[in-house]
Amino acid sequence: MDNATNDMLPLGFMIGFLSVLLLTAVAMWKIYSKAGEAGWKSLIPIYNTFVFQRIVGRPAWWVLLMLVPVVNIVLAMIECADLARVFGKGVGYAVGLVLLGPFYVMAIGFGPATYVGPNLPQAPPTPMQPPVRYSRAA
């Protein structure tokens, strides 16, 4: 490779990285909007984490747990599963969020996914069976 190529390579990586970063920020804005929150809340550090907890149905005190090393990694994986669930996606999508987060976040934000909320609709309760009456005549 010549010197011109060597000089342009880091610039190309930087442009690609900043493009993914910007698209992810816009996708998070759209995710917050789909969840009924103001999109700008996704841009405010720390506050966005409190709002995200509300979106995925977790208590606000989880933000404090996110400050604990190693625990935060486990919680982030749980929150990926929660994000997939509140948008009606399955376990495979949750794994995608863990492994290729920015791209799956863009798919939720820019795609047709709709927010179903932290509590998925439950199946209607079945009517109770009447009690079985036994007769003595047998």
Task: Find out whether 106 and 23 touch, Cβ atoms under 8 Å.
Answer: yes
Q: Is 35 a member of any domain?
A: yes
52 part of a folded domain? yes
pTM across the whole model:
0.78
Could you list the residue range(s) of the whole structural domain that residue 75 is in?
Answer: 9-110
Distances in Å between the Cα of 137 and the Cα atoms of 96, 133, 134 are: 64, 12, 9
In a domain, residue 86? The reply is yes
Given a contact cutoff of 8 angstroms between Cβ atoms, the answer to whether 30 and 13 are in contact is: no
> Looking at residue 99, what DSSP letter applies?
H
Q: Is residue 126 part of a domain?
A: no
Contact 10, 19 (CB under 8 A): no
Residue 83 lies in a domain: yes
- Average pLDDT of span 105-124: 82
Residue 103 lies in a domain: yes
pLDDT in tens, 69-97: 999 999 999 999 999 999 999 999 999 99
Q: Please report whether residue 98 resides in a domain.
A: yes
Number of domains in the chain: 1
In a domain, 80, yes or no: yes
